[in-house]
């Protein structure tokens, strides 16, 4: 439930981070000299690529923050589930103990 949703969110965020990092790296690699690009176009490309790469880096940092929050939510959901399970085990053990006590009282 909540654990699954948090795990799915974390996986989706990790995928987005990898995509942003790959695009940023691609943009940081200028066209080769063999592409025969005019110098003004190359300068414009490099400026736009640096700007976009910077934007991607900012997005990646934001996604990494969101990923950490999703991981914490996942851990919290797991901890909550374990706490509830432990509480139910204790409650069940208490009920069994009470049933044994009643049985002993009836037997005496």
Residue 43 lies in a domain: yes
Residue 87 lies in a domain: no
Split into its structural domains, the chain has a count of 1
Residue 44 lies in a domain: yes
Which pTM was predicted? 0.54
Provide the angle, in degrees to the nearest 10, between the axes of the packed helices 2-28 and 39-107: 160
Contact 31, 42 (CB under 8 A): yes
Residue 94 lies in a domain: no
> For the segment 2-41, what is each residue's pLDDT rounded down to a tens digit?
778 877 888 888 888 888 888 888 777 766 666 666 667 6
pLDDT of residue 108: 63
DSSP letter (8 states) at residue 29:
S
> For the segment 39-93, what is each residue's pLDDT rounded down to a tens digit?
676 777 788 888 888 888 898 899 899 889 888 988 998 999 999 999 999 999 9
Look up the domain containing 8 and give its range. Answer: 2-80
Residue 99 lies in a domain: no
Residue 24 lies in a domain: yes
Looking from the CA of 23 toward its CB, the CA atoms found within 13 Å total 17
Does the pLDDT of residue 94 top 90, yes or no?
Answer: yes
The distance from CA 73 to its chain's CA centroid, rounded to whole angstroms, is: 9
Please tell me the distance from the alpha carbon of residue 3 to that of residue 80, in angstroms, as a whole number.
10
């Amino acid at each position: 439930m909540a654990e699954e949703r948090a795990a799915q969110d974390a996986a989706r965020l990790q995928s987005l981070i990898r995509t942003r990092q790959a695009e940023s790296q691609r943009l940081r690699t200028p066209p080769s000299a063999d592409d025969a690009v005019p110098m003004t176009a190359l300068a414009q490309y490099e400026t736009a690529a640096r700007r976009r790469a910077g934007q991607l880096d900012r997005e990646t940092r934001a996604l990494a923050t969101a990923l950490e929050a999703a991981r914490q939510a996942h851990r919290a959901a797991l901890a909550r589930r374990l706490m509830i399970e432990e509480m139910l085990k204790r409650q069940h053990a208490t009920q069994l103990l009470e049933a044994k006590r009643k049985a002993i009282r009836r037997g005496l």
